[in-house]
Structure 1
Amino acid sequence: MIIIITLIVYFCVIFAVSRITSANATNATFYMAERKSPWYMVAFGMVGASVSGVTFVSVPGMVLKSDMTYLQTCMGFIPGYFAVAFILLPVYYRMNLTSIYAYLGHRLGERSYMTGACFFLLSKMSGAAVSFYVVCIILQRFVFDGIGMAFPVTVVCMVALIWLYTRSGGVKTLVWTDSVQTLCMLLALILIIVNVAHSMNMTASDAAKAVAASDMSRIFVFDDWMSTGNFWKQFISGMFIVVVMTGLDQDKMQKNLTCKTLREAQKDMCTYGFAFVPVNLLFLSLGVLLVFLAGQGDEALSLSGDELLPMFAATGDLGVAVVVLFTIGVVASSFSSADSALTSMTTSFCVDICRRPDDVRLRRMAHFGISVMFVVFILFFRMMNSTSVIDAIYILCSYTYGPLLGMFAYGLFAGGKVGDRLVPYVAVMSPVLCFIIERWAKGSLGYTFGYELLMLNGALTFAGLLMSRHIPWAVAGTTGRNGR
């Protein structure tokens, strides 16, 4: 019962913030927060928006298989955020964009614009729904089963809550609610670490020394080039992950584009870019402490990494306080990701697909319809009840960002001339070729692709666009609106 009461209080705070920020809201408020967002609030809120509920659960368990080598990727995030701040943001601000995919229309052509927007909508709906589904399963198992609530009711209620507090204020509301949710997530994480250390009679200093002395504290891998954990592969991949999944993602960029000036947006992005190393260090340190705790009892660690934190935090083994903190942390991190996803998809649908950014009625209908589709996707994953389906969706999402990387890189560095009529085919064929190459490399060379597959995907798309410019019928009359 105390968990339910805590959640009620939590959502009362969120709705209070929503009520205040959505007063006299217009489409300009919903899409761009009237470009008046304080940069420091955007920066703080983006930490939570970038850490999904799945991340909250999964990252601590990474130490079971890869120690703390994930921090190599997080280090790569920093130059990635600088690249977005000083290469992409100036372009978006100079063009005064609401949707970043309009850039493709200006530089490459109409089909490129639609292809970019469609790839975003496909990947965001699938990826966000899978992530939220996993969180719903966790909450259903550890919270709502206890009060007899059916899973479909849980999903409908949770998505309805997101729809209710975002339907008027949109991104303006998210700037402030994400800050509240980030604060809740970080407090929950820190207090869970404190409780875990206390359960082993450790002070904060003792816990830090124990983590540092552990074999699982290994961060750097320089000696194995074939390993997916190699430092340079992880570091460079981290840079490209940020460029693509932040700089080329309407979901992540929309709030950054609401800052008053380009300079403030750059300060915002660089600030929260540095935050991911210490935040993920805390998550991984929690994982090490949980492994120590398991070693003191009878718990077996022949489990997947995703089960490490729930095994202790959600079962009550560490007390009711940790159960409450775990629930708040998962809800805060998952809602701050899902609400951004629904708002950005509504924006892209109205601005990119329908080209009616001023139509209030369309925006409201689209926001409701996308929320309904979100529920349908989640319930579909539940019906399939197969980890292979979920894995397939994650793989699909990882492939769909590569063409966006290739198209934006082409627009920035190769000029506006392109075979626009061929762009949709190039964008589809590049991931297919990547899949074939990945399978061949694993079977013939014993090489396992990691995040670097994203770079290969983008490079294939870029090469395909270069070749398309030499096909006269594909280029004729399709140069981007602005040329070069």
Structure 2
Amino acid sequence: MDLPVFDLVIFLIYMAGIVLFGISFSFRKRTASDYTTGGGRLPSWAIGMSIFATFVSSISFLALPGNAYLSNWNGFVFSLSIPLAAWIAVKYFVPLYRRLQSESAYYYLETRFGAWARIYASVCYLLTQLARMGAIMYLLALPMNALFGWSIPTIIVCTGISVMVYAMLGGIEAVIWTDAIQGIVLIGGALLCVVVILFSMPNGPSEVFSIAAEADKFSLGSFDFNFVESTFWLILVYGLFINLQNFGIDQSYIQRYISAKNQKEAVKSTWLGSLLYVPVSLLFFFIGTALYSYYQAYPDLLPAELHLAENADKVFPYFIVSGLPQGVTGILIASIFAAGMSTVSTSINSSATVFLSDHYRKYIRPHAKERESMKVLLAASFVMGLISIVVALAFNGVTSALDAWWALSSIFSGGILGLFLLGFIIPKTSSKAAAIGVICGVVVIGWMSLSPVVWQGTALEAYQNTLHANLTIVMGTLTIFVVGFLLTGFFSKQTNQ
């Protein structure tokens, strides 16, 4: 299917504009601190939009509608946990990191438990970001594949390099200012899409709701206390743990706390970015539900292969190509790229910061000067960008990119939230108790992640994990915290005897 020239022009102008705007920040004279924190010059609204845009990646723009189209609004329960996580963040986490004034989120863990904790957490973060960037770039490739028939690997490579160039050269200022623009573009694009779908229904907008309600598409999932299936409570608990991890120990967020002019501005930006995501994610779920109703009303408009469950993520891109009026298609394609590019650029910048702060300056060249530090930041950004492209290629063909990302994020997070909470809540916890807790947590995460695959069909099959994959991060975090807490009491008693 060919893209009208007008739509193509809109999309290309947007892409060129964002890349050039991001690169423009490279002409400023900067230190490594400017590159990673912006020198405290950034306004709270821009930082807040950047936090929001980091939340709303192409995982949200494509996978959430795909998830809602395929099933219901169970995934939206994840967003319901954000206000509580944000409240905890502004009350405890933002003041902590503003007080430490370290560009690394993992410096705190070193002050509590030693160098091993910082290394462990930073490596887990880098692995998580690679999985995140891979999922995002794969989802970015879907609409362009539908538009032009180009191979998904080719699109991944081209778009990955485009984002990598401005993220690598522009630093955190380029990331935040482009995020702010992209956040506005993607909200506008999503709203346009909803309006078109509603007023394209044969019997008017109300038909979207009647068809969806009949198919129980608005359900938030079962309210049973079932830890095997994706119930309301399971997703709520999973969302709370993931969002606490985001706000409490994710380098992307901590950098934004530090980038704000003062603590008050950091709090404002955190509230803006987190609370804005809730209604916008609802909008994306509604798009998926509306598309279900639309193709129930017009079944002949959807190709037979897109009725298959494994192609649910491709339904929205197909609608963008075939169901939108000229001009709107170009805006929607730009919106999808806005969603993906903002998160990938953030991950590249924060990953480079982690490598410089937690590894290079710590163990390779502790007294590296500014010029050398800048070279390391640029090189690390380049390498992380390249590896993320390889990961994106590995995502090609997965049934649900959202489910795959959720599973990988649970595994790679390594329960570092548990280590952080242990140090934050239990001040007497020793390094030894924390280390044993981490070892136990990694064992639990490994068992929950690998046993259903490795032990299937063997003598150990009866002992494989039967809990839902999303509980991996929950159980890993709780194991680290509980074991560390119990050992703290045990070691204290031994010391007093």
Q: Secondary structure at the match of 2:85?
A: helix
Map residues 47-196 of structure 1 onto 2, 5 A cutoff.
Answer: 47-136=52-141, 138-143=142-147, 145=149, 154-196=155-197
Query: 1:400 matched to which residue of 2?
Result: 412
Query: 2:286 matched to which residue of 1?
Result: 285
Distance in 2, matches of 1:423 and 1:374, equals 33
Report whether the alignment pairs 1:359 with 2:359. Answer: no
Equivalent pair of 1:53/1:330 in contact (CA under 8 Å): yes
Report whether the alignment pairs 1:18 with 2:22. Answer: yes
Give the Å deviation of 1:281.
1.5
Distance in 2, matches of 1:262 and 1:83, equals 15
Query: What residue identity is the alignment partner of 2:103?
Result: T
Distance in 2, matches of 1:425 and 1:311, equals 46
Q: Secondary structure at the match of 2:104?
A: coil
Give the Å deviation of 1:442.
11
Equivalent pair of 2:11/2:331 in contact (CA under 8 Å): no
Query: What residue identity is the alignment partner of 1:175?
Result: I
Query: 1:458 matched to which residue of 2?
Result: 477
Give the Å deviation of 1:383.
6.8
Query: What residue identity is the alignment partner of 1:368?
Result: A
Q: Once structures 1 and 2 are overlaid, which stretch shifts more, 32-41 or 374-383? A: 374-383
Q: Once structures 1 and 2 are overlaid, which stretch shifts more, 374-383 or 166-175? A: 374-383
Q: Once structures 1 and 2 are overlaid, which stretch shifts more, 201-210 or 82-91? A: 201-210
Query: 2:315 matched to which residue of 1?
Result: 308
Equivalent pair of 2:198/2:290 in contact (CA under 8 Å): yes
Q: Secondary structure at the match of 2:190?
A: helix
Q: Once structures 1 and 2 are overlaid, which stretch shifts more, 434-443 or 14-23? A: 434-443
Report whether the alignment pairs 1:333 with 2:352. Answer: no
Give the Å deviation of 1:92.
0.7
Give the Å deviation of 1:151.
5.8
Query: 1:217 matched to which residue of 2?
Result: 218
Q: Once structures 1 and 2 are overlaid, which stretch shifts more, 460-469 or 294-303? A: 460-469
Query: What residue identity is the alignment partner of 2:12?
Result: I
Unaligned ranges ≥5, structure 2: 492-497
Query: What residue identity is the alignment partner of 2:274?
Result: G
Distance in 2, matches of 1:337 and 1:467, equals 38
Distance in 2, matches of 1:44 and 1:384, equals 28
1:376-429 deviation line (CA, Å, top 9, x unaligned) = 443465379553998777634312224211110111122252217767745643
Distance in 1, matches of 2:203 and 2:38, equals 46
Equivalent pair of 1:48/1:337 in contact (CA under 8 Å): yes
Q: Secondary structure at the match of 1:216?
A: coil
Q: Percent same amino acid at aligned positions?
A: 20
Distance in 2, matches of 1:213 and 1:177, equals 41
Give the Å deviation of 1:117.
1.0
Distance in 1, matches of 2:140 and 2:76, equals 24
Distance in 1, matches of 2:126 and 2:335, equals 27
Distance in 2, matches of 1:152 and 1:447, equals 34
Report whether the alignment pairs 1:6 with 2:10. Answer: yes
Query: What residue identity is the alignment partner of 1:338?
Result: V
1:29 alignment partner, one of 34, 51, 73: 34
1:271-301 deviation line (CA, Å, top 9, x unaligned) = 2222222112211111122111111232353
Distance in 2, matches of 1:214 and 1:380, equals 36
Query: 2:234 matched to which residue of 1?
Result: 233
Equivalent pair of 2:37/2:172 in contact (CA under 8 Å): yes
Query: What residue identity is the alignment partner of 1:431?
Result: I
Give the Å deviation of 1:335.
0.2
Query: What residue identity is the alignment partner of 2:329?
Result: V
Give the Å deviation of 1:34.
0.7
Unaligned ranges ≥5, structure 1: 473-484
Equivalent pair of 1:47/1:275 in contact (CA under 8 Å): yes
Equivalent pair of 1:312/1:318 in contact (CA under 8 Å): yes
Distance in 2, matches of 1:5 and 1:62, equals 30
Query: 2:449 matched to which residue of 1?
Result: 435
Q: Secondary structure at the match of 1:67?
A: coil
Distance in 2, matches of 1:303 and 1:78, equals 32
Equivalent pair of 1:346/1:370 in contact (CA under 8 Å): yes
Considering only aligned residues, what root-mean-square deviation do their CA atoms show, in Å? 3.5
Q: Once structures 1 and 2 are overlaid, which stretch shifts more, 33-42 or 337-346? A: 33-42
Query: 1:275 matched to which residue of 2?
Result: 276
Give the Å deviation of 1:470.
9.0
Equivalent pair of 1:85/1:269 in contact (CA under 8 Å): yes
Q: Cα gap change, 1:29/1:434 in structure 2, threshold over 3 Å: closer, same or farther?
A: same
Report whether the alignment pairs 1:242 with 2:239. Answer: no
Give the Å deviation of 1:309.
0.9
Query: 2:431 matched to which residue of 1?
Result: 418
Q: Secondary structure at the match of 1:98?
A: coil
Q: Cα gap change, 1:374/1:332 in structure 2, threshold over 3 Å: closer, same or farther?
A: same
Give the Å deviation of 1:128.
1.6
Q: Secondary structure at the match of 1:222?
A: coil
Give the Å deviation of 1:303.
3.1
1:285-339 deviation line (CA, Å, top 9, x unaligned) = 111221111112323534343122123223x243443432331122111100100
Give the Å deviation of 1:252.
3.0
Query: 2:495 matched to which residue of 1?
Result: none
Q: Once structures 1 and 2 are overlaid, which stretch shifts more, 153-162 or 56-65? A: 153-162
Give the Å deviation of 1:437.
8.0
Distance in 2, matches of 1:443 and 1:64, equals 35
TM-score computed with the length of structure 1 as normaliser? 0.84
